[in-house]
């Protein structure tokens, strides 16, 4: 089965959700132990290496074939912080071959067109990561 990881980068954390493609081409939420991975200190090389190892281990353990990252603005009121862009680069350089960025507008449009509801087993903070994975699954 194909597994897709949706990621929202917020502050110094990567918020994770994993979807598994079913035989009927629908997607089900896969239970995961680790729902967040933090970049403890973005100025410390060892912390950056630790984040990279942790994210790659997560992708390997969960057999991820595609990663979808929610895009953030580069400037303006809703611009992402420096740590989020550093984490994004590390994830794009991960061992997963298919890593894409999904805009908030594409997520919103997908949600409206498909009447996508978030499963109750997810924590509230995982909702955007879930919708990102769901939107990216169709790309």
CATH number at 86 reads: 3.30.420.10
- Per the prediction, the chain carries an average pLDDT of 92
Q: Does pLDDT of 69 surpass 90?
A: yes
Range of the domain at 116: 3-137
Predicted local confidence at residue 75, as pLDDT: 67
Q: Using one digit for the tens of pLDDT, what is the confidence trace for 28-54? A: 999 999 999 999 999 999 999 999 999
Number of domains present in the structure of the chain: 1
Q: Does pLDDT of 130 surpass 70?
A: yes
What distance in Å separates the CA atoms of residue 97 and residue 38, rounded to the nearest whole number? Answer: 22
Total-model pTM: 0.93
Tokens in use for 57?
A: 């281990």
Ranges 55-59, 83-87, 94-98, most confident: 55-59
Q: Does pLDDT of 72 surpass 90?
A: no
Residues 1-26, buried b or exposed e (16+ Cβ, 10 A)? eebbbbbbbbebbbbbbbbbbeeeee
Predicted local confidence at residue 79, as pLDDT: 63
What distance in Å separates the CA atoms of residue 43 and residue 69, rounded to the nearest whole number? Answer: 22
Tokens in use for 132?
A: 């990102």
Q: Does pLDDT of 98 surpass 70?
A: yes
Predicted local confidence at residue 78, as pLDDT: 58
């Amino acid at each position: 089965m194909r597994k897709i990881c949706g990621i929202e980068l917020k502050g110094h954390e990567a918020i994770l959700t994993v979807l598994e493609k079913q035989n009927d081409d629908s997607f089900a939420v896969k239970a995961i132990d680790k729902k967040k991975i933090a970049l403890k200190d973005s100025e410390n090389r060892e912390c950056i290496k630790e984040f990279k190892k942790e994210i790659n281990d997560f992708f390997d353990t969960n057999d991820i074939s595609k990663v979808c990252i929610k895009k953030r603005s580069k400037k303006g009121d809703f611009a992402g912080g420096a740590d989020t862009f550093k984490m994004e680069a590390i994830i794009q350089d991960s061992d997963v071959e298919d890593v894409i960025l999904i805009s908030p507008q594409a997520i919103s449009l997908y949600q409206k067109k498909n009447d996508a509801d978030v499963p109750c087993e997810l924590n509230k903070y995982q909702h955007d990561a879930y919708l990102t994975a769901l939107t990216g699954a169709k790309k």
